[in-house]
Each structure stands twice: as C-alpha cells, then as structure tokens.
Amino acid sequence: MNRDKALGFLMLVGSSVGVIFYGVLLFSLGEAVSLLTLQVTAFSAAASILGILAWIGYALATTPPPKPIEEIEKEIEAELKGLEETETKEESSST
C-alpha cells in the first residue's frame, strides 16, 4: 500500500471513530455532557470563522496597495525606449 492510500485509510478510520465518539458524547452520556459538547462545537465553529476573517483583515490591512496603472505604463515606456536606443546603437556600430 503506498503512502497516499495509507494516509487516506487512516483519515477514513479516524473520521469514523470521531463521528462515533461525537455521537456518544451527544446522546449517551447525559444532558450536561451533551450541552457542553454542543457549546464547545459552536464555539469552535464561530472561533474558526472569526479567526479566518481576522486573518483576511490583517492581510488586507498590511498589504501595500498596488502601483497605479499610469505609473506602470510609464515604466514600460521607459524600458521600451531604452531597448530601442540600445538596438539603434548596436545597428549603427555593426555597420
């Protein structure tokens, strides 16, 4: 069995065991454990979503804005002029 298949099988077994364990916590161990399980699950879901939103906000706040198109166009024009000048110099020196 190659490594990917072994990892996939392990994930399948682990997920199945997790579903069974979660079901036992919700339905077999009493009302207090069920309530605590639901509270932990809800908190984890909300914290995950809010954490992702915070990460996106941080990335937006700390990423510098892109250059304006006009500035990029000027840089390209300057490079093209430089290339044209070197081509004309090479042509004149070779003749």
Report if pTM > 0.85: no
Domain that holds residue 5: 1-63
Question: Over its length of 95 residues, how does the chain's per-residue pLDDT go in tens digits?
Answer: 689 999 999 999 999 999 999 999 999 999 999 999 999 999 999 999 999 999 999 999 999 888 888 888 888 988 888 887 777 776 676 65
The verdict on 71 and 50 lying in the same domain is no
Q: Are residues 17 and 58 in the same domain?
A: yes
Same structural domain for residues 4 and 41? Answer: yes
pLDDT attached to residue 65: 85
CB 26 within 8 Å of CB 38: yes
* 57 and 86 housed in the same domain: no
| Whether residues 20 and 42 fall in one domain | yes
What does the angle CA 79 – CA 83 – CA 89 come to, to the nearest 5 degrees? 145
State the total domains in the chain. Answer: 2
CB atoms within 10 A of CB 83: 10
